[in-house]
């Protein structure tokens, strides 16, 4: 999809959770806001899709600036059409992985939010590597109650093992 300028793109930009895999190709010289200014603005908004910068007026400092600001690639005109297509394809694959990862993190976050206060306390004990009897003592619960909470946590979190539970929680929080 193409846009006449940065303002048109920004006006049509969906919320992050509705973004589909893709890549953004910006020219350094665009009407209104430059490609580098738009890149900077999108970085502030934590825009998740890869950005490729193209220019017919680039220099090394400009390329370094774009890459340090997170550009996927900096392509000088004239360029081979196939090179641009290859870079866009690679950037789209990167975005697919990133959006899938963000979706999994959101899903785990939603499951964590469904846990009750006591389940959260038991989960904290589990993640700290504590035995059920230690968790029970610290929370002034019976071991059977901790075991019930533990089973409920595993079910709500859709975890098949403690290792899987710990990994998903760590990724969601980190």
- Of the options 3.40.50.2300, 3.40.50.920, 2.30.30.60, 3.40.50.1820, the CATH number for the domain spanning 6-103: 3.40.50.2300
What are the DSSP calls for 100-148, one per residue? HHHHHHHHHHHHHHTS-HHHHHHHHHHHTT--HHHHHHHHT--HHHHHH
CATH number of 114-173: 1.10.10.10
Residue 162 region by backbone torsions, left for phi larger than 0, else alpha for psi between -120 and 50, else beta: alpha
Whether residue 51 contacts residue 71, with contact meaning beta carbons closer than 8 Å, is answered with yes
> Is this structure's pTM higher than 0.75?
no
pLDDT digits (tens, 9 = 90+) for 33-71: 999 999 999 999 888 899 999 998 878 888 888 999 999
Peptide bond into 113 cis (omega under 30): no
Pairwise CA distance, residues 86 & 147, whole Å: 53
Digit-coded pLDDT (tens) for 145-170: 999 999 999 999 999 999 999 998 88
The span from the CA of 7 to the CA of 161, in Å, is: 48
Asked if the domains at 6-103 and 114-173 fall in one CATH topology, the answer is no
- Cα dihedral sign for 95, 100, 101, 107? positive
Whole-number pLDDT of residue 174: 64
Spatial distance between the Cα atoms of 34 and 19, rounded to a whole number of angstroms: 23
């Amino acid at each position: 999809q193409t846009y006449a300028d940065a303002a048109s793109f920004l006006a049509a930009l969906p919320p992050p959770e509705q973004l589909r895999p893709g890549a953004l190709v910006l020219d350094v010289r665009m009407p209104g806001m430059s490609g580098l200014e738009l890149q900077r603005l999108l970085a502030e908004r934590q825009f998740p899709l890869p950005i490729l910068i193209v220019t017919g007026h680039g220099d090394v400092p400009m390329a370094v600036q774009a890459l340090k600001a997170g550009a996927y690639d900096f392509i000088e005109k004239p360029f081979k059409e196939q090179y641009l297509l290859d870079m866009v394809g690679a950037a789209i694959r990167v975005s697919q992985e990133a959006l899938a990862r963000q979706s999994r993190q959101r899903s785990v976050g939603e499951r964590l939010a469904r846990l009750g206060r006591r389940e959260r306390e038991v989960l904290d004990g589990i993640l700290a590597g504590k035995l059920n009897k230690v968790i029970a003592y610290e929370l002034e619960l019976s071991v059977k109650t901790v075991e019930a909470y533990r089973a409920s946590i595993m079910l709500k979190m859709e975890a098949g093992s403690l290792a899987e539970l710990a990994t998903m929680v760590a990724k969601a929080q980190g």
